[in-house]
């Protein structure tokens, strides 16, 4: 049952999918949820800018061990690009100035432009970003006018759809890899069209196999009255890692793995590919994540045995 299991530490363990509203930081969402759930250990899996909305997976308790796997997952965004302007932040929240005149646009040109930005591409991240240079976030340096020019980074776009809207705007839908900045895409599209562009709105609708349709609006769990609803919405650990192949083991083997004994891994069968990761479960409980190194499985994360919540 959701929200009724507790991990090896205090508080619930699992994944809470939150639909983040506009003008709230990702860290702010984490802080509010921690207060509602009594100080549970928590972190988010992939930052959303304050002006962005949508799916923000929160890892709770033992679920914080899954954060890296979710951050590395592919994502889907929907948004609006405003043409004919530029800004220092590459979005509408920055210092906006006029760009160039708009070219004639039809769907054929937009489709061609989308194709140019699809596949394995190199992208220059925004100066206003959380990327660290010399231990300092870029946005801190950018505010002081000290941000260095970042080098292009390889990213991947699996799908990009561009549709013209009224009043000098483009609607975008994109499936992309980790490390992709939609603000940089807005800049690059604006430069390709010769008129400049900024990101006007952004909504994340998917992280890996997780979708915003299953998320709970932050407004519904803003205070202690929302605690029962928040706890009921917690996704169990075994479901939180649904993008990893599932392998089931016996309870005795689960106990050994939790003690760091690796011999049960020899009975898991071969990997599909080098570097493959699997989730290992006993019954409905997530026991571990293992990674294939050559022909052998190696433990990468181990999860404490759950215990019933105090009544």
Q: Which of 19, 49, 175, 188 is catalytic?
A: 49
> CA quadruple 131, 132, 137, 139: dihedral positive or negative?
negative
Give, in degrees to the nearest 5, the angle at Cα 222 between 216 and 226. Answer: 70
DSSP letter at 45 equals S
The answer to whether the beta carbons of residues 82 and 189 sit under 8 Å apart is no
Phi, psi of 113 (to 5 degrees): -65, -40
- In the residue annotation, 49 being an active-site residue is answered as yes
The answer to whether the beta carbons of residues 132 and 142 sit under 8 Å apart is no
- SS3 call for 67: helix
What b/e sequence results for 84-105 when a residue is b if at least 16 CB atoms lie within 10 Å of its CB, and e otherwise? bbbbbbbbbbbebeebeeeeeb
3-state percent helix, strand, coil for the chain, nearest multiple of 5: 25, 35, 40
- Token pair 């075994």 is found at 238
Task: Report d(CA 46, CA 42) in Å as an integer.
Answer: 13
Q: Which residues are catalytic?
A: 49
């Amino acid at each position: 049952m959701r929200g009724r299991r507790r991990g090896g530490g205090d508080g619930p363990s699992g994944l809470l999918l939150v639909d983040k509203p506009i003008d709230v930081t990702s860290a702010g969402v984490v802080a509010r949820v921690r207060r509602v759930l009594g100080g549970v250990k928590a972190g988010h899996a992939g930052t959303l800018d304050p002006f962005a909305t949508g799916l923000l997976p929160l890892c709770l308790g033992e679920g914080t061990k899954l954060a890296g796997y979710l951050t590395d997952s592919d994502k889907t965004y929907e948004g609006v690009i405003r043409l004919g302007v530029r800004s220092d932040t590459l979005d509408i929240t920055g210092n906006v100035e006029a760009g160039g005149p708009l070219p004639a646009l039809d769907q054929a040109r937009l489709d061609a432009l989308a194709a140019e930005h699809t596949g394995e591409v190199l992208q220059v991240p925004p100066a206003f970003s959380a990327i660290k240079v010399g231990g300092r976030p870029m946005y801190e340096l950018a505010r002081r006018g000290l941000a260095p020019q970042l080098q292009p980074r390889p990213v991947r776009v699996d799908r990009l759809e561009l549709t013209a809207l009224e009043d000098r705007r483009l609607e975008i839908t994109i499936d992309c890899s980790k490390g992709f900045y939609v603000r940089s895409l807005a800049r690059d599209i604006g430069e390709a069209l010769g008129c400049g562009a900024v990101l006007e709105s952004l909504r994340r609708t998917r992280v890996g196999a997780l979708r915003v349709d299953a998320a709970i609006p932050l407004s519904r769990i803003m205070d202690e009255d929302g605690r029962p609803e928040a706890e009921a919405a917690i996704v169990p650990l075994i479901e939180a890692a649904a993008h990893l192949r599932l392998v089931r083991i016996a309870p005795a083997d689960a106990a050994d793995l939790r003690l760091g004994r690796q011999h049960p891994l020899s009975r898991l069968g071969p990997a599909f590919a080098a570097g493959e990761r699997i989730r290992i479960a006993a019954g409905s409980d997530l026991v571990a994540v293992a990674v294939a190194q050559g022909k052998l499985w190696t433990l990468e994360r181990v999860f404490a045995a759950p215990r019933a919540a105090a009544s």
